[in-house]
Structure 1
């Protein structure tokens, strides 16, 4: 039998490119609240359209306190809201440890990234990545050469990353403009343990506030509330985390300027 009269034929929706390897789990992880402890002050200064610096002071009672300096340079070629080439990032703490990244576009489909890390002026590690970005797929080659399987849709992203040490799967879903949820599963074959994490994000545009909550299989619960104070370029964040099994509780407060 033919199609009913007046019914439009269904068209396959284009899947689009799933994004780079490093960004596959980003949407899911951004839903989870970041760990906060102590007091943190972040000051960001934009020096030009290409150069930006950030000063961070962290005072903690559980871990070491310190100062971090971050510098970011971006070029003129912009492919998207978060893709500008070339990009150079450097982050150094008060002990002299450095994390540096360089990203460059080699062509319409090829991207390259170099990562260097030192610890207290001693060279620790380096890594080079090469990435091919097609219309509906991404192929990434790194030193570890992990396998990759991913798919995406307009309002959800599901990702499975499999390697020799285990597997990492995540699912991100945007219900609407205010509600986002994420589920993450990490399995480590060497340690023979798995971790399941559920997180959600609530955006309140009228209150200039964002709340992120988290619950994992280790019986840890936590939340972070971020509040912007327009017209001032100031963002306040308050977070608290509790582990019932280990009877651990910590909280933190962050002020971001810029």
Structure 2
């Protein structure tokens, strides 16, 4: 998915001199999280997105990323990873954002992809077919073979979202995965939903297996609580914005089948005056990771530092990066 840049009023426009809106009556003041909560709850896929966005993306070695905008709709990137881990080497990426707008926030179509010299490809296409219907396609090619393919359609209702996805369909071997998701706001702060997944293949006993999961989310004044309970796994998350610069999240993922459970604490701290962003995490496997991003204003450079340490295995990863553009 891509981010769509919102247009702002030019300097000196009437909006710059308009008086501020009057404060809401006492008892009706709402936090930004609740105030911005749309009638539509979004997709079930993004149920734990608040906490996932706080997780640092740690890397090893050296990384250089050069972003270049060729037009208002087209951007390319060059990424060089110098590391002992994959992905490494050079990758070329491109992003195209179309001019069709069914809503002020979304543009269509959105095409994104990156490829390395060996032909390994990651590609994604998102198209807003109508005001309420959106299609998405994801493909991944490794060693000249399609290792991942996914097609999905998402219908956005007034207060619900229904999604149907099909992944890794192989008509020759009669295998694939089908997933149906539904999430609905039953109150302004409460959303409930369910997910049904069915995987079929000749090697599966009985020809296929299905999994049903129930989900729920509560959005408070400063927090978001979400949970997913399935037949083989459970996932719970808690997000809290402590102030304008600090966010904290906790999640617990449990797999009944293998008897494993992992708890993770993550945080993000923004320092606007210093042009810095810190993200960090620690989990129950004794893994600690952090990423620091420093904007080198007025230059279009961002300096990154990454570190991860596993106290049980005694392994560590340290990385330095530079983003240009």
TM, length-normalised to structure 2: 0.70
SS at the partner of 2:52? helix
Is 2:179 aligned against 1:144?
A: yes
Q: 1:64–1:139: structure 2 CA closer, same or farther, 3 Å change rule?
A: closer
Q: CA RMSD in A?
A: 2.6
Is 2:135 aligned against 1:135?
A: no
2:269 match? 202
Equivalent of 2:83, from 54, 60, 83?
A: 60
Q: 1:200–1:80: structure 2 CA closer, same or farther, 3 Å change rule?
A: farther
Aligned length: 251
Greater shift, 135-144 or 94-103, is seen at 135-144
Tell me the alpha carbon deviations over residues 36-66 of structure 1, each in whole angstroms, 9 at most, x when there is no partner.
2110000001111111111100001355631
SS at the partner of 1:94? coil
8 A contact 1:18–1:24 mirrored in 2: no
Larger fraction in strand: 1
Q: Which has the higher contact order (CA 8 A, sep 6+)?
A: 1
- Gapped runs of 5+ residues in structure 1? 1-6
1:3 match? none
TM, length-normalised to structure 1: 0.86
Q: 1:164–1:174: structure 2 CA closer, same or farther, 3 Å change rule?
A: same
Tell me the alpha carbon deviations over residues 131-171 of structure 1, each in whole angstroms, 9 at most, x when there is no partner.
12233332222233351634345643333345555233322
Q: After the TM superposition, which parts of structure 1 deviate over 6 Å for at least 4 consecutive aligned residues?
A: 7-14
2:15 match? none
- Gapped runs of 5+ residues in structure 2? 1-24, 166-177, 182-194, 196-213
CA–CA separation in structure 1 for the residues paired with 2:315 and 2:87: 18
Is 2:46 aligned against 1:23?
A: yes
8 A contact 2:68–2:77 mirrored in 1: yes
